[in-house]
Amino acid sequence: MTERVVLAYSGGLDTSVAIGWIADQTGAEVIACAVDVGQGGEDLETIRKRALACGAVEAVVVDAKDEFAEDYCMPALAANALYMDRYPLVSALSRPLIVKHLVATAKEHGASVVAHGCTGKGNDQVRFEVGVGALAPDLKVLAPVRDFAWTREKAIAYAEEHGLPIDVTKKSPFSIDQNVWGRAIETGFLEDLWNAPTEEIYSYTQDPSVPREPDEVIVTFERGRPVKIDGHPVTPLQAIQQLNRRAGAQGVGRLDMVEDRLVGIKSREVYEAPGAIALITAHQELENVTVERDLARFKRQVEQRWAELVYDGLWYSPLKRALDSFITTSQEHVTGDIRMVLHGGRAVVTGRRSESSLYDFNLATYDEGDAFDQSLARGFVELWGLPSKIAAKRDLRA
């Protein structure tokens, strides 16, 4: 039986060329697998037809936008996941979902190999291959761009020689990856750290310096998940899409950072994630109102480790699964409304309300009606500082 290879297919030049190149080099039949995670652009049927025209024996296309929002973006929201305290894991979240469908396609079509178009410099090679190893350790992995020094010039020459139905004349100076959770831009003039981003690189967000009217929005959460926008029920996908539009129109969610890649190099990355940043801002504030102090303190440590695991391609690791259980438990009372004003590139919380609130007005107020017994504080402070006081006396004696 002829060997079969399932290729993670984007519809672009590199993966279109890879179909024929893999068949030529290995003699295998290539099955293209394209997964829609809200990246926009061409429709799935157009991508499917292109894959077949480029030599794939079968083309599998999956509309996974709702699955991505529900099963990948929502856990990231519950974790307030920001790698290096800034990056909302735009690309990192989509890779384990794509891997899941690659493996499923390989099993369905009897393939023994999966292939991807990642380079050897980035994080995605790790996310794909470690993910495949976790879900189907029997599958082999092929990486033509990385393992065979496949360049864009070689890809263009191959496409022209074989008359492949792809446009090889237009080349963006940037490398762009996008989905419903956000958009990542790198390379080109951005590789010089002194160069400022220019407006034309942005797509999800408008220039925050342009004067415009503020936009007030109320996000309703149940157990850590957005369920209403301004009182209207929404799915997770709809919540992200609506806030992408509204927060994006106000320039919310632009990030320009130097990032620590897993492979050990630093890279300059520009992101725009208006919906993600607005939702995380609202979710964090609702947690401030509803999550008990020690649980909240420990959760912040868990959030950082969770983000690192996902960034590093360990979505399917035992530690990640264990942290998921903790985070799910922490969301039990994260229910209520957050009001925000979107304006000038910022999402600013202006109101909070929750039936699960731990805020007690009578304890917090300094005005008449204060229910806090201040006579208890003197002894509390004395006992709280006692270990430090004892240590200080010892040090003075020494």
Q: Binding site: which residues? A: 8-16, 87, 117, 119, 123-124, 127, 175, 259, 271
Q: Are strands 175-179 and 182-186 parallel, antiparallel or unpaired?
A: antiparallel
Measured CA to CA, the distance from residue 347 to residue 219 in angstroms comes to 12
Q: What angle do CA 215, 218, 221 make, to 5 degrees?
A: 145
**14, 36, 177, 312: the active-site residue:** 14
Give CA torsion, residues 281, 282, 286, 287, to 10 deg.
-30
Is 95 in the active site?
Answer: yes
**95, 183, 225, 346: the active-site residue:** 95
Is 124 in the active site?
Answer: yes
**124, 177, 254, 312: the active-site residue:** 124
Distance of CA 129 to the CA centre of its chain: 18
Query: Do residues 116 and 125 touch, judged by C-beta distance below 8 A?
Result: yes
Number of helices followed by number of strands (H, E) in the chain: 15, 14
Burial of 315 (0-12, 13-18, 19+ CB in 10 A): buried
List binding-site positions for L-citrulline. Answer: 87, 123, 127, 175, 259, 271
Crossing angle of helices 274-290 and 236-249, in 10° steps, is 110
Measured CA to CA, the distance from residue 188 to residue 8 in angstroms comes to 25
**112, 175, 267, 317: the active-site residue:** 175
Measured CA to CA, the distance from residue 79 to residue 85 in angstroms comes to 12
Residue listed under structure tokens 């925050």: 208
For 300, phi and psi rounded to 5 degrees?
A: -60, -35
Q: Are strands 215-222 and 336-343 parallel, antiparallel or unpaired?
A: antiparallel
Is 14 in the active site?
Answer: yes
List binding-site positions for ATP. Answer: 8-16, 117
List binding-site positions for L-aspartate. Answer: 119, 123-124
- Active-site residue set: 14, 95, 124, 175
